[in-house]
Structure formats: C-alpha cells, structure tokens
Amino acid sequence: MRFETKTVHVGEDPDFRDGGSGDVVVPIHLSSTFARSKVDEPTAGYEYSRSGNPTRDALEARFAALENAKYGLAFSSGMAAEATLCFSVLKPGDHVVAFDDLYGGTRRLFDRVLAPNAGIEFTYVDARDCENIRCGLKENTKLVFLESPTNPIMRLCDMREASDIARERGIITAVDNTFMSPYFQNPLDLGADVVLHSTSKYMNGHSDSIGGAIMVNDEELFRAIKFNQNAVGAVLSPFDSYMVLRGTKTLAVRMRAHAENAQKIAEYLEPHPKIDCVHYPGLPSHPQHELAKSQMSGFGGMLSFEIAGGLEAARTFLENLEVFALAESLGGVESLIEHPALMTHASIPREEREKVGLGDGLVRISAGIEHPDDLIEDLESALAHVG
C-alpha cells in the first residue's frame, strides 16, 4: 500500500461485524472506562482509556504504517514521548550522545531534568560528521539522539552511518523526525531504532492539537515504552487522537505544498542583500545538499536564515509581517515565523546557543500552504523596514 493510501485508510477500516455501523471515520471513544460482562474478561481487550482506547489504537496503527514500523504509540505531547523513551532505555549513570543543535525543549529536558534528577550524562557533538558521534561514545553510552534536519539550523546527520556506529556497540539510535514527517523521510528504513514526532506539527497539520508519537520495530523495546507510557499516563486523548487521524489524511498533499513554498522562499531570500545566509537543504548551496537528496525524498517546509543587523534587524523585520504569524511551533497550514534565540530556544544559555551557531539574527520559518507570492510579498515588505 502506497503512502497516500495509508494516510487515508490504515486504522479506519469500516466495521461490518455484527453490530458494527460501517463508520468510514473511526468514532471518538470518549469513555474513560469500559464495562465487561465477565469479571476476568475485558470487553474487546479494553479496561481503562489510559491503558488502551479504540480511537487511539486506530491512530497508533496509522503511525506504525506511515513510518514503516511494526509498532506505534501516541503520546500527550512530543516531549512526553521523548521523556518516556528516556525512562524506558536509560538508568542513572547512563550516557547519551546527542546532536548539539537540538530543539530547545529537548535540551531543557536533557540538561535540566534528566541530568540533575536522574543522573544521566549527556555529550553534545556536531553530528554532521559521524566520527564525532564515534568519538563521543563511552562505555556507559546507551542512546544516540538525533534530529536531521536539526532545529533550527537545518543541519543533517548521515543516519545510515550514525546508526551503524551505534549498532556496533549495541547502542539505541533515536531520531526526531518532526521536521520532515514520514512523507519525506523514514529513519527506521535508514537504520534507526526509534522514530519520534511531535504530532502537534505536520502529522496533525492544523495547529489545533498537542501530541507526540514513537514508532519502533523491536517488540521488547515497544513493550518497555508502552509499559512506562501507561505507568506515567502520557497518553493522547481520544479527541486529539481523532484530530491527528483526520490530519494525517492530508499529510502527503500538505507536505508537497509546504516543500514547494519553502523552496520558493529560500530561493527568494538567498540572494537578498539584507540576508547573510539561508539554511535549507533544498538549496544546492546547502553544504549537505547531496546527503539530503540521498536520505530524503523531499526537502520539507522548514527553513531558517540569518538577517544582517542581528537582533534589532530581526525584531524590526518580524514585527512588520502581516501574513506570517509570529508564533512558536510549526507544521500548520498557516505560515509561522519565529526568533529562536528569544522564543523556541530561549531556555538554552546564550553561550551554548552561540557555540552551535544559533545567533541573534537567526529567524526560523515554517512555510504554510498559502500562495507563495503572498508569502514572498510579505517578506519583502517586512525586509523593507530593516535599515
């Protein structure tokens, strides 16, 4: 079954069993608990919605199908997915190697929650060169955590090579695939053990649901994550499960529009005299453009750029936009723009941001699906206010 067909049908086969209504759309099962006729036999396997819910089950089946995985799990947020993964594969004294350019919330979880409270050690490396991953490994390394492309500088890691390096030592490789979505990239097919998503972004696609996902192939790892998810209660609600199911149905057509608009925006910005640098894997000038072509089927809807003049120029530019919404998050049908140093990555200390090249002039765009000419005209108008 091809991707576009999976997004519409997996998990939502009409129920023609006795008593089934033939719903084309899976019902929203809002019940918190499920009655049974026999004491020791849960009805259809359901006991309590934290442990299992028919609407969430449908979404989890679709998650697995979209990432070519055996198992999928739906979480209450992307951060809940990351935290549950870490609780499932790490213990005090363990070590993690991670890409040095990561989403600010991930760094906050690692550095301000897991390191001081769980005794987990983290080493951040420039994973554009996989030898840095190898050099960062220790005897107690249990996890390699990657984003590719990274948030927000759009750096890539060769996931095949990184996964091979980790596998040689029996280390789990996890990849946050939020930026690309399963439409453009499938890390499990490239050797990773775990794929994570913030489904608040492209999977849902309409900026009206918070959620997360994990997809894996290994049954033992799946069971461990599922046990901990149930134990801590980090599950997606039935209503949000329905919202994401609905959103995934248009994932393919949306991603094509996002990528087309991002490409046009990047090509407009790259030669602009008020822009120092554009970070987008779809540009031939991107230093990892060839790698992008080898492990992605498209370049996605995310890009970032460095505006000449630093913070004040960025502030002036951002506050003069009309079509772009100045807001955190990404992946919705509307175009969003933000200032990482003051918004999504503000929790990372300045010296750490500067170390990875995240300066005060960096601006991040999530290209929506509006007409590209309107988006470019809005950017041009705002840039005209920059001295």
| Least reliable range by pLDDT among 12-21, 113-122, 127-136 | 12-21
What is the pLDDT averaged over residues 274-296?
98
Gyration radius from the chain CA atoms: 21
Tell me, what's the pLDDT at 22? 83
Instruction: Please give the Cα distance from 141 to 143 (Å, whole number).
Output: 6
Q: Is 196 helix (H, G, I), strand (E, B) or coil?
A: strand
List domains and CATH numbers for the chain.
3-248 (3.40.640.10), 251-383 (3.90.1150.10)
Name the pairing type of β-strands 172-176 and 194-198: parallel
Name the pairing type of β-strands 336-338 and 325-326: parallel
Instruction: Please give the Cα distance from 158 to 189 (Å, whole number).
Output: 13
Instruction: Please give the Cα distance from 52 to 177 (Å, whole number).
Output: 25
Helix, strand, coil percentages (3-state) for the chain, rounded to 5, are 40, 15, 45
Q: Is 340 helix (H, G, I), strand (E, B) or coil?
A: coil
Give the active site residues.
50, 103, 176, 201
Tell me, what's the pLDDT at 387? 84
**Residue 312 near residue 299, CB atoms below 8 Å:** no
pLDDT band at 18 (very low <50, low <70, confident <90, very high): low
Q: What is the pLDDT of residues 357-366, one digit of tens each?
A: 899 999 999 9
Both tokens assigned to 296: 């992605």
Both tokens assigned to 338: 């933000």
Question: Model pTM?
Answer: 0.95
Instruction: Please give the Cα distance from 350 to 337 (Å, whole number).
Output: 21
Q: Which residues pair with 302 in a beta bridge?
A: 366
Estimate to the nearest angstrom the gap between the alpha carbon of 109 and the chain centroid: 15
Tell me, what's the pLDDT at 13? 84
Q: What is the pLDDT of residues 292-350, one digit of tens each?
A: 999 999 999 999 999 999 999 999 999 999 999 999 999 999 999 999 999 999 888 99
Q: What is the pLDDT of residues 187-197, one digit of tens each?
A: 999 999 999 99
Both tokens assigned to 95: 């070590």
What kind and span of H or E run contains 172?
strand 172-176
Tell me, what's the pLDDT at 14? 83
**Residue 303 near residue 367, CB atoms below 8 Å:** yes
